[in-house]
Each structure stands twice: as C-alpha cells, then as structure tokens.
Amino acid sequence: MTGYIALGYGDLALGSLLILTNVGLSLALQLGVHWRFLVAAVRMVVQLALMGLVLSTLFSLVSPLWTSLAAVAMVAFAGREAAARQDRRLAGLWAYGLGSSSMLMAAALVTVFALTTALRPHPWYDPRYAIPLLGMILGNTMTGVALGLNGLTSGLASRRAAVEARLMLGASRREALAPVVRQSLRNALMPIVNTMSATGVVALPGMMTGQILGGVAPEEAVKYQILILFLIAGGTGIGAVAAVLGGAFRLTDHRHRLRLDRLAK
C-alpha cells in the first residue's frame, strides 16, 4: 500500500492533549515546568507553520540565492540557541560568533558533500533536498557545539588551579588544556554515539518513520536513515572540534596564560 495518511487540524488538536497532560502533571507534582511546556509547544507550532510557508515558496523558486539566504538564517538562529545553552559564555561577540561559524562550516561542508555525491539532485541546490538535509545536520551539530563549548568553559572554570599549575610548570597551553578539551569533545560527541548505538533496536528515527508512513519501502527508508546518521555524525564531529579548539584558543594567549577574564561575567 502506498500513499500517506492526511492529517487534519482536529487530529493535531487531539495530539495536543498529550502536551496538556504534561502540563497537568507539572501542576500536580509542583514541577514548575508547565509554562515552559506551553511556551515551547506554542513556539514549535508557530515556527513549523512559518517554515511550511517558507519552504513552499522556496520549492517554487528553486533559486540558489534564496536557498542560501534560508540556510544562513537557520545557522543564525542555531547560533543563538547554542549560545543560550551555555552556563559560562565567552564575552562579547565570541559567545555567538564562535558557535555560529563552527556550525556554518560543518553543516555547509557536510550538506554540500551529500548533495554533490550521494544524493545528486538536479540542480544540486534544490531546496526540496538542501533545506531539510541542512536542518537535520544543523540541529544535531548545534547540540554538539553547545555541549562542547559548555564543557570547555565550565571545565576550565572548575579546574583552573590544575590548568594554571601545569602552565607554571612549563606546559604549553595545548598540553595544559588537553584533559579539559578531550572531556569536552567526549561530551559533545556522546549524544550522536548513543543515537547511532540505539537506532534500529531501541528507537526508529523520525525521518525513517515518516518515510514509511508516507509509503516508502522500508528498505529504502533504512538506506536514507543510515546516510543521514553518517552525515549527522560527521557534521557534529567537525563542528564540535572547531568550536572547542577555537574556544581553547580564545581562553589562552600567546604567552601561554589562561584567560578566564574573556568569559562573560
């Protein structure tokens, strides 16, 4: 059987009852997250509705300019979200710029690689393929970058004495920061490692499930999902390494001193 099951607004309203259930549980157990649930749900609905309108317009235009502008806008919002998820931020524009530039480099590199090798749509910048693919890669890369930078700044703040002791004993800034950098990168990569380990046995990813519900043969859906996870892992790794190494460079100087004064107050 092929085709897909069309959803009406009434079906979405029924699904929203589950959000209200969580709100009720939060109130009953005094968790204090009921407003966050409501705000997040409303924000998600509005954002997806707007994205649907934007994608419809982009699909009709098939323009490299508009596809690029949409991609830049997605990266800009992702940079803001990544900065907001850090307990200790870099001061000034570095808080936003480092994460955004790392995500832009990683997501753009991996997306273009996929579009020009495995998928090969015509034209290669067709937004019907480029934008959804970028969104999946960018979302996971954002998580990796945010976790990596948060681990770096928090780790250096909590282990300041140990790092400075190594520097005073003659270690270079690369050697002194190496344990914190390695731990930060482990934290950044662990979510995608766990996702790949559990996929297919514990969980069926959303993209694969959506394709199957849309009538795609399970074998084809599996191939696409494997490719997507490979791309996500690559983007997350490249983005996290660029962000963490960039942060380590920013929080030291050429005299091999730790510069936590470059963190926001």
Structure tokens given for 179: 């344990």
Q: According to the model, what pLDDT value does residue 210 have?
A: 79
Structure tokens given for 145: 């970058």
Task: Render 37-79 in DSSP notation, one character per residue.
Answer: HHHHHHHHHHHHHHHHHHHHHHHHH--HHHHHHHHHHHHHHHH
Q: According to the model, what pLDDT value does residue 213 have?
A: 78
Q: Are 81 and 200 contained in the same domain? A: yes
HEC per residue, 176-208: HHHHHHHHHHHHHHHHHHHHHHHECCCECCHHH
Q: Are 121 and 31 contained in the same domain? A: no
**Which of 37, 61, 85 is where one domain is finished?**
61
Give the pLDDT of the chain (265 residues) as one tens digit per residue: 455 678 888 999 999 999 999 999 999 998 888 999 899 999 999 999 998 898 899 989 889 999 999 999 999 999 998 988 888 899 989 989 999 999 999 999 999 999 999 999 989 999 999 999 999 999 999 999 999 999 999 999 999 999 999 999 999 999 999 999 999 999 999 999 999 998 887 777 777 877 887 778 888 888 988 999 999 999 999 999 999 999 999 999 999 999 999 998 8
Closest CA to 38 of 13, 19, 21: 19
Q: Which residues contact 259 (CB under 8 A, 6 or more apart)?
A: 250, 251, 252, 253
Q: According to the model, what pLDDT value does residue 30 have?
A: 87
Alpha-carbon distance of 138 to 133, in angstroms, equals 8
Q: Are 88 and 219 contained in the same domain? A: yes
Alpha-carbon distance of 210 to 130, in angstroms, equals 18
Q: Are 47 and 156 contained in the same domain? A: no
Q: According to the model, what pLDDT value does residue 1 have?
A: 45
Helix, strand, or coil here: 253? coil
The residue type at 218: P
Which residues form the domain of 162?
63-262
Q: According to the model, what pLDDT value does residue 7 have?
A: 82
Q: According to the model, what pLDDT value does residue 45 have?
A: 94
Q: According to the model, what pLDDT value does residue 2 have?
A: 53
Q: Are 18 and 86 contained in the same domain? A: no
pTM of the model: 0.85
**For residue 191, cis peptide bond before it (omega within 30 degrees of 0):** no
- Cα dihedral across residues 210, 216, 222, 227: positive or negative: negative
- Residue in the structure block whose two tokens are 């050429």: 254
**Which of 17, 34, 61 is where one domain is finished?**
61
Q: According to the model, what pLDDT value does residue 221 have?
A: 85
**Which of 61, 84, 111 is where one domain is finished?**
61
